[in-house]
Structure formats: structure tokens, C-alpha cells
Amino acid sequence: MKKPKRASAAKAKEGRKISIGRSNAAPKRLTKPPAKPPRRAALGDDAARDNVRATIRGLRAKLKEAQRRVAELEAAADTDFLLEIPNRRGFERELARAIAYMKRYRASGALIVLDVDRLKPINDSFGHAAGDEVLKAIVATLTRQVRASDVVGRLGGDEFALLLWNLSETDAKAKAAALEQAIDDLSFVFRAQHVTAGASAGVALLGPNSDAGRALEEADAAMYVRKAHRRHEPRIRLARSER
């Protein structure tokens, strides 16, 4: 009679083990990874990425436009509004670049500072519109007298500067005299009167050891010496009024 009792005890023990095992396995079912998100979520991510790309393209376009505008403003800041040539700021920048090139490649050139002799009497007698016409004609004359690689700039008022490449001292002085003559030959008619302007030019040579500021001072001083020599010329020449 003892053996059946042992069998029953064994079955009861086995039943407890199964029950414990089942209770321990229940939490494992709770830790299973969540189901994959529906397809609509993936489509939403694609739309978000497209929006980001569109935003980036828009920002790049705005940046490009801003850079273009900055370049335009910088060019305008270096250009004389009336004559459409470099102003003092623009010319000094070109002169500094030229001297840096000369230092690197052992090149040479010349700087000519030119002052219009009788612009103030023309402005006083015929108005500033007449003076502007004279200035435009002078710039056109200077531009025709130099090469495309040379630079013509307006330092201010009635004073101009020319940066000329690869000229000896003799050639530079000859060019300055030719520029004076070309401007002296210009003739204008204001209020039925023939008017001529004039110009005085000073020269400074440029080379690897040049300094931009000192070269401008030297050419400017030479120009005033030349202007003093031309003071015997009439301040403004007027022909008889045309009928």
C-alpha cells in the first residue's frame, strides 16, 4: 500500500513544477517586440524628408541670390555712378592688385594722374549738366587712348587716374602729353558758344618696389607742377556767339 502513495506524491510534485513553469513563462509573452508600424508611417517619413530637401533647396537659392546681390553692391561701391568707371576706392584696389602682380612677376607700368583744367569755369558759366557732359567726353577720350588691360578711374571731382602696363619713363611721359593734347582738342557748344576744356597730367613709374599710396602722391605732385606750367593758357576760351 505504500507504493501508490509514493506515486501520488510524485504526480503532485510534477503538477507543481508544471504550474510554476507556466507562471514563469507568462512574463516572457509580455516582452515580445511590438508589431511593425503600418505602411502609412513609412510614407509619412518620406514626405518629411521631401519637405526637408525642399527647404534646403530654397535656402540654397536664397543664399545664391544674396551672394549675387552682395557682388552687385560691391561693384557699385567701386564704380563712379555718373561715368561708369572705377571711383577712387575701385581704382586704389586695382592699383594695389597691379603692384602685387608686379612684385611677384617683376613687371612694370606707369601711373598718370590727370586733372581737368577748366571744369569749374564751365560749371559756373553753363551749369553742372554742361560739366557732366565735359567729363563724359573726357572719359571717352581717355578710354580710346589706352589699351583694354589699362585702367581709367575717377579719383574725385575733376581728377582722374590711369594705370598703364609695361611703359618706360619716356613712353609714359609721351602718353601723358598725348592725353593732354587729346583733351585740349575737345570742343563743346553751350548756349551757342564754343567751349574747350583742358587737362594737366603727372606721371609716376610703377615697379616691384612701388607703394600704391606713395605712387599716387608722386603722380599728383607731378600733375600740380604741370598745371602751374599751363596757367598762362586762358581760363576758358569762348568764340563769338553763333547766329
CA proximity to 197, closest of 232, 161, 158, 223: 158
What is the CB neighbour count within 10 angstroms for residue 180? 19
Q: Beta 193-195 vs 151-156: how paired, if at all?
A: unpaired
E-only strand ranges, the chain:
109-116, 151-156, 159-165, 188-190, 193-195, 199-206
Element (H, E) at 151: strand 151-156
CA dist., res. 14 & res. 4, Å (int): 15
150 closest CA partner among 174, 134, 172: 172
The C-alpha angle 71, 97, 77, rounded to 5 degrees, equals 30
**Gyration radius from the chain CA atoms:** 43
Q: Are the C-beta atoms of residues 97 and 78 closer than 8 Å to each other?
A: no
> Which residue is associated with the grid cell 569755369?
121
CA distance 55 to 159: 51
Residue of 80, 158, 185, 211 with catalytic role: 158
CA distances (Å), origin 126, targets 173, 191, 194: 33, 8, 12
What DSSP state is assigned to residue 240?
P
User: Does the annotation count 158 as an active-site position?
Assistant: yes
The catalytic residue positions are 158
